[in-house]
Amino acid sequence: MSATPATVEAVAEGLMPAVGALRRLLRRSGSPAFGETVSAAQREVLLVVGRHPGMSVTEAAHELGLAPNSVSTMVTQLVAAELLMRVTDPQDRRIGRLHLSPDAASEITATRDRRCAAAR
């Protein structure tokens, strides 16, 4: 079923107040994960790797809709910042599997907990 322009506009109009309320709630819940130490794009890489541990750079790029070379650059920066770990795939040594560092995993969990507490 295809949405008509009027339907899309009506849904968008209905969602705008909710989106605004959610943004305000998240701002009040405290600082975002990692504060100002990582960019929004790097934060997205960390979140996708957190949801799919062991994914490759190519898989992360596909999930995020970004060019693999862009994600590779961010991964290199996040590995240097000790927020990501790149582990060689034992089946194919050309592939690096990505995992959150313990510090990154803790930060993501703490941020999620703060946001859930603010939503209560």
pLDDT of residue 26: 61
HSE, CB side, 13 Å, CA atoms: give it for residue 2: 2
Fold of domain 31-119: Arc Repressor Mutant, subunit A (1.10.10)
Specify the 3-state DSSP secondary structure of 86. strand
Encoded tokens for 112 = 């999620």
pLDDT of residue 33: 67
pLDDT of residue 25: 66
Structural contact between residues 74 and 81, judged by C-beta atoms closer than 8 angstroms: no
Taking residue 51's Cβ as centre, other Cβ atoms within 10 Å add up to: 10
- pTM as predicted: 0.72
Encoded tokens for 41 = 């794009």
Distance CA 58, CA 70 (A): 10
pLDDT of residue 61: 96
Distance CA 97, CA 87 (A): 5
Encoded tokens for 106 = 């803790």
pLDDT of residue 29: 59
**Each residue's pLDDT expressed in tens, for the chain with a length of 120 residues:** 577 877 888 888 888 888 777 667 666 655 566 767 888 899 999 999 999 999 999 999 999 999 999 999 999 999 999 999 999 999 999 999 999 999 999 998 888 888 777 777
